[in-house]
Amino acid sequence: MTISTSHSNKSSSVNPHNGFCYKTLIFHSLRPPPSLPPPSSPLSVTDFIFSLLQTTTASLIDATTRRTIPYSDVPSIVRNLAVSLRQAPLSLSPGDSAFVISYNGSHIPILCLSLFSVGVVVSPANPASSVLEISNMIRLCKPAVVFATAEVVEKVIEAGFKKRIVVIESDEFESMMRVVESNGGDGIKVRVSQSDTAAILYSSGTTGKIKGVKLTHRNLISSFAGAIAGRQPRSSPAVYLCPVPYFHVYGFSLCIRTVACGDSLVSIGRFDLRSMLRCIGEFKVTHLPLAPPVVVALVDGSNEGLVNGSDWRSVESVFSGGAPLTVSVIDKFKRRFPNVALVQAYGLTETTGGVSRIAGPYESTIVGTVGRLIANCEAKIVDPDTGAALPPMNRGELWVRGPFIMKGYVDDKEVLDTMVDSDGWLRTGDLCYFDNEGFLFIVDRLKELIKYKGYQVPPAELEHILQSHPDIIEAAVIPYPDEAAGQVPMGFVVRRKGSTIDETQVKDYVSKQVAPYKKLRRVCFIDSIPKNAPGKILRKELIKMALLGITSRL
């Protein structure tokens, strides 16, 4: 796979206003490219971050436990934990993987940096996952150890994991971070190549089946380097409050990047709007990364008293990623928070997070955009029917290329080949366009994933569960628009003749087997599922039926 990351904006054929090259039909980033280490140089994400970390007053702060870890202590704690990871009883080796299933907390960036430093692959997961989902993720990442919050240990055991489980709230884990290096170190520095897998995150790709996305140290380093290069100088460290889950690429990359930038990170374990608003004032938060539903909640009239009673004087920016915000929500936000910049970004798990984002006061005034391409990023807008690359103001599938593109999927080269071509272009599956100033706009999704509160919900997974019910002959799942969540999963079900199964029973059957965000929110009973000649479900017809308010038919 050949990946070109050269900064071509100096070329006379590249429009300096939008980055579009009329010769190659490629959009180039307008951001100055950061300096990246040579790809062949051995370097872990941890070593890269610690090479940047300077003396700072910033800290890792746990809003739940009120524990504070100054950044001056972070390198030694990370090294101590790294020593413990390599010693008995864990005895982890480079190439092993660690499954991390926990709510947000200051322990997550510490644990991740320690695992990266010794070449162990980090695989974070949602603690709300069902036993079946945990079993599937464990099957993909094949962990040598699981780091779990206490309440999910039983689910991990039930999922069939028989090796070592370390409870994150335990004295054992605390003691692992206090090992004295001079006594516990083996004196051997682990050699980590930038091409080594650093993390396995979970995505549904475009086929609906859960995928283990392999991100390398190089992927993460390039992503962090671009973000750091684009930062504006500050007189004091920023303070990030991150209610976005650290097992999602959005929160995962942010919790590590914040350390690299030397900014304080406030972690909230379980999201609660009231707690989040209290923390903003208590910790003098300057930057607030949120999922779109939380932005919607902030402008919802029912929360007006709660929001108005909180102290937003320190807040400079609110970030939103995972799904686009509607224009009406953006307008409401700007009216309620006139002094706060609303920054949207766009990215995928497969692109190590954001490939476009808003930067600076002017860009934040462009309504509806997810920003301009990040540094070292190239893009094409491709006609889905002809495969031809298109100029600005034309809609097509977004393809992107750069050093942040995933290494691949775990045990699934066939799917990788359908998403990434031989020249390194990743097909996002999203219908987009660039305007004449290089701003990216998301129009719709070509892929069939449902985006519920920023989470990916694969219809195929829910359809498989529905069709396993003895009273259901056929089923199809579609996205149904929802103001608060963006989209909710709606099921169309064909009952077995004589069955009296109702909507509540169908919803309960699914909810017992999936994480809460994947639950069906609507059910419609129909006589048959519309399909084309090859047997593919005609989801667009079902969506039309749902939007027209077709009543349930026996």
The model's pLDDT over 147-164, given as tens digits with 9 standing for 90+, comes to 999 999 999 999 999 999
Q: Residue 406: its pLDDT value, please?
A: 96
Q: At what angle do helices 45-52 and 249-261 cross, to 10 degrees?
A: 40
- Secondary structure (DSSP) of 516-531: GGGS--EEEE-S---B
∠ CA 373-354-8, nearest 5°, is: 30
Beta carbons within 8 Å of 458's beta carbon, 6+ residues apart: 204, 207, 208, 209, 210, 448, 449, 450
Q: Residue 356: its pLDDT value, please?
A: 95
Q: Partners of 482 in the beta sheet?
A: 486
**C-alpha–C-alpha distance, residues 287 and 264, integer Å:** 10
**C-alpha–C-alpha distance, residues 310 and 290, integer Å:** 17
According to DSSP H, which parts of 7-106 are helical?
45-52, 74-86
The model's pLDDT over 7-30, given as tens digits with 9 standing for 90+, comes to 444 467 999 999 999 999 999 999
Domains located in the chain, CATH noted: 450-547 (3.30.300.30)
The model's pLDDT over 453-502, given as tens digits with 9 standing for 90+, comes to 888 788 888 988 998 899 998 899 999 999 889 999 999 999 988 999 99
Q: Helix, strand, coil % (nearest 5) of the chain?
A: 30, 25, 45
Phi first, then psi: give them for residue 414, nearest 5 degrees: -60, -45
According to DSSP H, which parts of 399-498 are helical?
413-419, 459-467
The model's pLDDT over 429-446, given as tens digits with 9 standing for 90+, comes to 988 999 999 999 998 777
Q: Please state the rounded mean pLDDT for residues 126-143.
A: 94
State the pTM of this model. 0.84
Q: Residue 270: its pLDDT value, please?
A: 87
Confidence of residue 552 (pLDDT cuts 50, 70, 90): very low
Q: Please state the rounded mean pLDDT for residues 81-104.
A: 96
